[in-house]
């Protein structure tokens, strides 16, 4: 089991993330209202099935309570109006922190103003700050009072762990501008071949900087179009579990595990790993790095 010298532990609205394996529990993040999500009726206006949305959030929270594995949601919006409605709904359903997410910076900037006005800024994790971030986005973050963000080490060189570490180092001054003092580093998984590079980069960043690391490893399976054709639809479920837990086995701290519907798959697997590491940690039979 890997043992990091000085890993940081951040507390975000009562949830801790970071530290050594066996010290803190893995943070699991499920996405809701994502593009194509069946509970969304109008992605532009933000119309959705409230009953089903609440059911999905409560199912994840029930698994979280049973396993003591922290679970939160990544709230994805396709328009300013929709994202504001989703945030308002999620904030009323759960007391836990949550991510705000969109492919468009303007939508997220609008959401930052909304969470500030609603007094929700300390419950929000911004998803995400990448090397392509513009100054106006950093300024909006600073003005919002949000102090935690996913830091995406995006790189064109998807097979290089070194490129991810370099991308993270270039982002450090931008985090200071944005007022982000609780960064969660996403080491960027795009496909199956990029998984090892992302994990190695996470280990290196956690070793040298101490920040909690993880990734949206489910992207490896979402982009693998041939798997279903080769082995059938059910095979994707098992592959999703492996993709998400592989990084945790190497001592990383969180997983953006994909659609919230997959909570029933991912939580038991991560619970098993956390139990194993918690007990093994007592032996102090570590691999120091």
Q: Is 1 a member of any domain?
A: no
DSSP symbols for 79-146? SHHHHHHHHHHHHHH-SS-EEEE-SSHHHHHHHHHHHHHHT-GGGEEEEEE-TT--HHHHHHHHHHT-
- Mean pLDDT on 268-287: 89
- For residue 148, the enclosing domain spans 18-274
- Given a cut of 80, whether residue 284 has pLDDT beyond it is no
Band the pLDDT of 2: cuts 50, 70, 90: confident
288 in a structural domain: no
How confident is the model at residue 276, as a pLDDT?
93
The answer to the question of residue 289 being in a domain is no
Residue 213 domain flag: yes
Q: For residue 66, how many other CB atoms are within 10 A of its CB?
A: 11
Whole-angstrom CA distances from 101 to 163, 231, 233 are: 24, 32, 28
| Nearest-angstrom CA–CA distance, 278 and 177 | 37
Is residue 285 very low, low, confident or very high in pLDDT (cuts 50, 70, 90)? confident
Look up the CATH number of the domain holding residue 263: 3.20.20.20
More confident position, 228 or 108: 108
pLDDT value at position 286? 77
Q: How confident is the model at residue 88 (pLDDT cuts 50, 70, 90)?
A: very high
Q: Provide mean pLDDT across the span 81-94.
A: 98
Band of residue 266 on the pLDDT scale cut at 50, 70, 90? very high
Residue 1 confidence (pLDDT) above 80: no
- Provide the pLDDT for residue 91: 98
Q: Is the pLDDT of residue 289 over 80?
A: no
Residue 61 Cα to chain centre, angstroms: 16
Residue 118, judged by CB atoms within 10 A of its CB (0-12, 13-18, 19+), counts as middle
In a domain, 279, yes or no: no
| pLDDT tens, position by position, 199-258 | 999 999 999 999 999 999 999 999 998 998 999 989 999 999 999 999 999 999 999 999
Look at residue 252 and tell me if it is in a domain.
yes
Q: List, for residues 136-185, the tens digit of each pLDDT value.
A: 999 999 999 999 999 999 999 999 999 999 999 999 999 999 999 999 99
Does the pLDDT value for residue 280 go beyond 90? no
Tokens of 277: 């590491």
Within a domain: 212: yes
Residues in the chain: 289
Cβ–Cβ < 8 Å for 27, 70: yes
3-state secondary structure 145-213: CCCEEEEECCCCCCCCHHHHHHHHHHHHHHHHHHCCCEEEEECCCCCHHHHHHHHHHHHHHHHHHCCCE
pLDDT at residue 201, rounded to an integer: 98
Radius of gyration of the chain (CA): 18
- For residue 214, give the 3-state DSSP assignment: strand
For residues 209 and 151, the answer to whether their CB atoms sit within 8 Å is no
Question: If pLDDT is split at 50, 70 and 90, which confidence band does 283 have?
Answer: confident
Q: How far apart are CA 241 and CA 245, in angstroms?
A: 6
- Phi and psi at 213, nearest 5°, equal -130, 155
Whether residue 165 is contained in a domain is answered as yes
**Mean residue pLDDT across the chain:** 96
User: Of 266, 272, 274, which is closest to residue 60 (Cα–Cα)?
Assistant: 266
3-state secondary structure of 67: helix
Mean pLDDT of 122-142: 97
Give me the number of domains the chain comprises.
Answer: 1
Confidence (pLDDT) at 281: 82
Note the pLDDT tens digit of each residue in 14-55.
999 999 998 889 999 999 999 999 999 999 999 999 999 999
């Amino acid at each position: 089991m890997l043992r990091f010298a000085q890993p940081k532990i951040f507390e975000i609205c009562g949830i801790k993330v970071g530290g050594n394996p066996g010290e803190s529990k893995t943070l699991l993040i499920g996405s809701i209202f994502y593009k194509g999500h069946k509970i969304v009726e109008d992605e532009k206006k933000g119309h959705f099935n409230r009953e089903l949305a609440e059911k999905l959030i409560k199912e994840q929270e029930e698994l979280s309570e049973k396993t003591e594995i922290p679970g939160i949601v990544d709230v994805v919006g396709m328009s300013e109006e929709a994202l504001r409605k989703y945030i308002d709904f999620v904030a009323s359903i759960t007391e836990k922190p949550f991510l705000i997410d969109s492919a468009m910076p303007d939508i997220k900037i609008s959401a930052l103003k909304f969470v500030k006005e609603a007094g929700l800024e300390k419950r929000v994790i911004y998803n995400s700050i990448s090397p392509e971030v513009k100054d106006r986005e950093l300024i909006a973050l600073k003005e919002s009072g949000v102090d935690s963000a996913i830091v995406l080490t995006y790189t064109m060189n998807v097979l290089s762990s070194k490129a991810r570490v370099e991308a993270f180092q270039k982002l450090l001054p931008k985090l200071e501008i944005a007022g982000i003092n609780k960064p969660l580093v996403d080491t960027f998984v795009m496909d199956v071949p990029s998984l090892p590079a992302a994990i190695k980069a996470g280990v290196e960043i956690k070793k040298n900087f101490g920040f909690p690391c993880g990734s949206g490893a489910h992207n490896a399976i979402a982009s693998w179009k041939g798997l279903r054709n080769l082995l059938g639809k059910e095979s994707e479920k098992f592959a999703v579990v492996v993709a998400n837990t592989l990084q945790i086995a190497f001592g990383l701290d969180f997983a953006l595990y994909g659609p919230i519907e997959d909570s029933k798959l991912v939580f038991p697997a991560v619970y098993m790993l956390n139990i194993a590491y918690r007990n093994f940690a007592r032996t102090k039979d570590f691999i120091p790095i």
